[in-house]
Amino acid sequence: MYVYAVVDAGADLSNVRGLSGEPVRAVACGGVAAAVGDLAGEPELTAETLKGHDEAVRRIAAVLPAVLPARFGTVLADEGALRDALGSRDEPLRSALEAVRGREQMTLRLAFAAGAPVAAEPAEGGPGLRYLEARSGTALRRRPDVAWLLDGMGDLVRAERIERIDRPPLLGTVHHLVDRGSGPAYRERLDRLRGQTPGLVSSVTGPWPPYAFVEADW
């Protein structure tokens, strides 16, 4: 049994097909359900199966307003194993479903441009706090050019997750939760704003199912 996503209890997935064209069904697990399919074997990790997983999640998202994508490669023995795995996580999964309802993800990667001065990240607090912040996305978020760019996207963004990548010139990855259908507006805004931040290089992909927002701890 292969898991594609966590969805609302009672979700109707008739006519949705999975990775190998198999029917996808919703298995109730307390206050949520898991969208699963029966695969003949375990999927191998290839570009094709990763795409297949994502496409199946997208087909599920096309018929349901709230979908929490499962990580690739989740195989369970049976429905009992699924209930054991998800049963105790009812509450957080339901909050996360509410948070992504009617929304999707855009992913923005940031790097500093060739020849651009490496702007210092403004520091606050003592050395301990600075150390922790330097490892998180907080310091990156405070870089003046990054802050200006992301603030300018603010009204389109319902939630933001930042992963710092400490490997120059890569600065980090920003995942934005946006309303479904607002991808074109997001790209248009970004195109306009990034023309004014010559020190930054950015690349955007999406819309994606909300892979980076499966926990509602933000």
Partner 1 sequence: MSRLDDERRILEDADSTLLDLVDNVLNKGVVVTGDVVLSLAGVDLVYVRVSALLCAADRLLPPPRR
| CA 76-94-24 angle, 5° bins | 40
- Cβ neighbors of 101 (< 8 A, separation 6 or more) are 65, 66
- Alpha carbon distance 60, 196 (integer Å): 38
DSSP code at position 96:
H
- Using CB under 8 A as the binding rule, the residues of this chain from 66 to 105 that contact partner 1 are 68-77, 81-82, 84-86, 93, 105
**Residue 33 structure tokens:** 């359900």
Candidates 8-16, 36-44, 121-129, 135-143; binding stretch for partner 1 (CB under 8 A): 36-44
Radius of gyration over alpha carbons of the chain, in Å?
A: 20
Candidates 20-28, 40-48, 138-146, 147-155; binding stretch for partner 1 (CB under 8 A): 40-48
Between 9 and 123, whose beta carbon lies closer to partner 1?
9
Query: Is the Cα torsion angle 197, 203, 204, 209 positive or negative in sign?
Result: negative
- In the complex, the smallest distance separating the C-beta of residue 119 from partner 1, rounded to whole angstroms, is 16
Burial of 37 (0-12, 13-18, 19+ CB in 10 A): buried
Amino acid (1-letter code) at residue 42:
E
Place of tokens 């074109």: 184
- Using CB under 8 A as the binding rule, the residues of this chain from 110 to 169 that contact partner 1 are 111, 113-114, 165, 167-169
Question: Does residue 46 interact with partner 1 by CB under 8 A?
Answer: yes
Question: Does residue 186 interact with partner 1 by CB under 8 A?
Answer: no
User: In the set 153, 157, 174, 214, which binds partner 1 (CB under 8 A)?
Assistant: 214
- In the complex, the smallest distance separating the C-beta of residue 181 from partner 1, rounded to whole angstroms, is 19
- In the complex, the smallest distance separating the C-beta of residue 5 from partner 1, rounded to whole angstroms, is 8
Query: Given the rule CB under 8 A, which residues bind partner 1?
Result: 3, 5-6, 34, 42-48, 50-51, 53-54, 68-77, 81-82, 84-86, 93, 105, 107, 109, 111, 113-114, 165, 167-170, 173, 201, 203, 205-206, 208-209, 211-212, 214
